[in-house]
Structure 1
Amino acid sequence: MSTHNPEPPSPNTASDRYAPSAETAQPRDMTTSSKNSRWSAPITSLAVKAAKLPDSSVNALCGASAGVASGIVTCPLDVIKTRLQAQGSFRPRKYTGPTRAVYKGLTGTARVIWVEDGIRGLYRGLGPMLLGYIPTWAVYMSTYESTKNLLYPQMENKWLARTLASLAAGGCSTLVTNPIWVVKTRLMSQVSARASDEHRPPWHYKNTFDAFRKMYAKEGIASFYSGLTPALLGLTHVAIQFPLYEFLKMKFTGLEMGQADAKTEEVHWFAIALATVLSKMTATSATYPHEVLRTRLQTQQRSLPSPSHDQVSFRGGQHDRFHTRPPGTASSDGMINLPRYRGIIRTCTVILQEEGWRAFYNGMGTNMIVHQNLKNEGKRVEEDEL
């Protein structure tokens, strides 16, 4: 509106020549709206479509997006953790020399990876890591939502219903996405050709799809479900952390479950934070060995059944120009191809005998840093569902 014009007359008394015509009004409106429409129309359309989606789908998308962002930042830490967990699993079966730890702590491991592989080595496995977040969260949130809705009407204890729903969701997502995480672990534990034979895995993958192809061709479909049992055992982390958190919160603040609100959290923020940290550390310390077991089983190369007598396995075509020793603990001297790690009890026994109890906690400090943001995001998404 021009500044020299008086206050616009009433529509009932104004003549047509004072009223803006459709032709003159349209360009003024379109000039402003056309700029906004070019930028806001896609966003508005996306918002409308998102509003029609179920809450579980929106939360799954938000969780996956947060996981992707966190994965890009924490990938180097995840590589370091995997190297520490897998250390000692690639030694030849006849190796009798002293155990030499190449990877020592967070900074020591990062230095070795940087010297041998550069920045690329710190981001090995990023592809399957990002690929796995979307199906993981999609399966987790959909299962969690349906299970929670099924249990809530039947159970008075809402906390127990949430815990059971979390366990069910975690189990389903683990079953569906385990092949992706096996490939991720394989790629992260892959070292350069300059590494010593003692720490070099018996396989070499160019990328994620090459890993899937070679694993299926040389080891069969069962290789994609290596480490599934310890991965499912890791779900006990939830069963330990949640009850312990509620117990500690009640001891520190006197508040029962469900009594905390924004005001009480501001008053008791230190006590609640302390309960969170202590429950997290206790649950992680109690269940962390399953991560080492899972990594050892996932990085152990399987061999397809041999057509020879008594399932005797030779090197055959299992070696390439990068690796010339037999896969895993398979032998080239006609011995039965029995892997070093077989089952939970057997794997624990072998690690304890060869490396001692400390090996069960390799990389635990790095693991806490890696997964803290992801677990907090998952807890926030679950709370938003309530």
Structure 2
Amino acid sequence: MLCDPAQYEDANTRPSHQGSRLQVVTAGATAGLISRFVIAPLDVVKIRLQLQTHSLSDPFSRAGLPPNAPVYKGTLPTMRHILRHEGITGLWKGNVPAELMYVSYAAMQFTAYRSITVLLHGALGEHRVPKAVESFVAGAGAGAAATAATYPLDLLRTRFAAQGVDRVYSGLFRAVADIQRDEGARGFFRGLGPGLAQIVPFMGLFFAIYEGLRVPLGQLDLPLGSGDATAGVVASVIAKTGVFPLDLVRKRIQVQGPTRERYVHKNIPAYDTGAVRAIRMIVAKEGFRGLYRGLTVSLLKAAPASAVTMWTYERVLNFLVGNAAEEGAHKAVE
């Protein structure tokens, strides 16, 4: 999972009196929680499309599949298929580990970004690097730390979202116990390599575009009251497209292991030789388009996720800062 750097940019640029560390963490965690719930159905659709190796137009690619094997094509048809066969709760499969992941990830990312920025200021002293470089380093470090720390929850989210009518895991605790028993501790970190490999190119693309658009867009009268938010959405869409193949490979590696053939797609190939080999296998079997399955819904998800996160973060932080200031004024009067 990669959150937009614009979501925690203000944690560094906001003056200290406009948000303590605890207030920034609380606002970031709340924003992640609400944003995740809103975009959960799109996330389930994206994962289903990413894991699908067969196509609607090529019947030979579906050879050997059960007669009732789902064939997804497009965001809305996939959503309708899930609703028809699994009910509305099917669109929120994996939401519990995902909510835990988003809250933890957002809080850690905001905190790590701020801490790394402070460390850079202390280490470099008067020899300050350009703002774009500082943001890139802090953003990449924060993303890597948060990704590694919350990765088991990301893997659980993917496996639950990949379940069809026949459940692989009966619940979150049962899933943790089964993975530990059958796959060991390493099973919780399948696909971590491509997950971490996404971060540096994502941050590089993001900040190159974000810094170029932020100032000119800030001079315009835009929705959400902020050119930063709009620049963040545009930069996020372009950056996500650039690293999307790594995200798809990560998802497919996450469902490897003894349960691989029990998910909604029964024909997920075995990718046991690493991310590079997995990419070659996908291109050989599905073409370059195979690396971008689910891209459309991923991009559709980026805009509302960024908008909801930024909107919630700003308002929660302002609320917390306002309450703290009001309490301070009352104590001063007393």
**TM-score range with shorter-chain normalisation?**
0.7 to 0.9
- Cα contact 1:186–1:299 (8 A) shared by 2: yes
The match for 2:40 among 75, 96, 102 is: 75
The match for 1:56 among 8, 21, 25 is: 21
Q: CA deviation at 1:244?
A: 2.2
Q: CA deviation at 1:149?
A: 0.6
Aligned to 2:299: 368
The match for 2:72 among 103, 117, 128 is: 103
Q: CA deviation at 1:234?
A: 1.7
Q: CA deviation at 1:340?
A: 3.1
Is 1:117 aligned to 2:86, yes or no?
yes
Aligned to 1:212: 176
- From the superposition, tell whether residues 151 and 270 of structure 1 become closer, same or farther in structure 2 (CA, over 3 Å): closer
Structure-2 separation of matches of 1:378 and 1:161:
23
Residues 252-305 of structure 1, C-alpha deviation per residue, up to 9 Å, x if partnerless? x4xxxxxx86xx3449x99988865553332122111111011001011259xx
Greater relative CO, 1 or 2 (CA 8 Å, sep 6+): 2
Is 1:128 aligned to 2:91, yes or no?
no
- Cα contact 2:31–2:308 (8 A) shared by 1: yes
Aligned to 2:283: 352
Aligned to 1:221: 185
The match for 2:153 among 162, 169, 180 is: 180
TM-score (norm 2): 0.73
- From the superposition, tell whether residues 377 and 146 of structure 1 become closer, same or farther in structure 2 (CA, over 3 Å): farther
Aligned to 1:290: 246
2:245 alignment partner AA: P
Structure-2 separation of matches of 1:224 and 1:371:
26
Please state which structure has a larger fraction of its residues in helix: 2
The match for 2:235 among 279, 282, 306 is: 279
Is 1:169 aligned to 2:142, yes or no?
yes
Structure-1 separation of matches of 2:97 and 2:297:
20
The match for 2:165 among 192, 206, 209 is: 192
Tell me the C-alpha RMSD between the 2 structures.
Answer: 3.7
The match for 2:31 among 63, 66, 69 is: 66
- From the superposition, tell whether residues 276 and 170 of structure 1 become closer, same or farther in structure 2 (CA, over 3 Å): closer
- Cα contact 1:289–1:360 (8 A) shared by 2: yes
2:102 alignment partner AA: Y
2:254 alignment partner AA: Q
Structure-2 separation of matches of 1:69 and 1:82:
20
Percent same amino acid at aligned positions? 28
Gaps of 5+ in 1: 1-50, 90-94, 194-202, 254-259, 304-317, 330-338
